[in-house]
Copies of this chain bind each other. A is one copy, B any other.
Amino acid sequence: MEVITLTPTSYIVLGLVRYAGEATPYALKQMAAATVGNFFSIPHSQIYAEPARLAKAGYLSVRQEESGRRRKHYELTEKGKIALADWLETPTGELYELRDPGLLKLALGGDPVALAHAQIPVHEERLEHFQTIRRVLEASGMPGDELLIVDAGIGHEREYLRFWRKVADPN
């Protein structure tokens, strides 16, 4: 049994597996794309590699199909459940990191107005994207908690638009 350190990616996988009960990597990929994928990018190769890594360390159990696609189905082990619960139970005071190419260029001397004109449309698009998701979730009777993350996204997109619009046209 190998010893590994659990990264944010690890917890994403553990969390999604718990949510699904049992999941194939592809299912995880779909789930991630619809939820945390909006904030964290996770390349699909990681979505295959990480469960394998977690399984080797005993956090997940695997069951492989005998025929056809021979997909691997992952499930939380006791160890996995505990690790996830521990992590979730500890409210974190850690701060975020914002890896934003637009802001980075701005900070390093890029032309503010040109950047603003490039950024505004993509943020508008993304705001609409989040709002659509929110409407869909709301209509499907999703409990309020599940909407929180989407609301966070919407709030930040609005903030981004306020910011870049002001940069583009600072009265």
Chain A residues near B (Cβ < 8 Å): 8, 11-12, 15-16, 18-19, 35-36, 39-41, 84, 87-89, 91-112, 114-115, 117-119, 121-122, 126, 144-145, 148-149, 151-152, 155-156, 158-159, 162-163, 167, 170
Contacts and interface: CB of A to CB of B under 8 A. Distances in A.
Chain A interface, >50% SS class: helix
Contacts of A155: 159, 162-163
Contacts of A94: 101-102
A40 B145 contact: no
Contacts of A156: 98, 156, 159
Given A106-B152, A107-B149, 7 more contacts: A11-B104, A39-B98, A39-B107, A91-B115, A92-B105, A96-B101, A106-B148
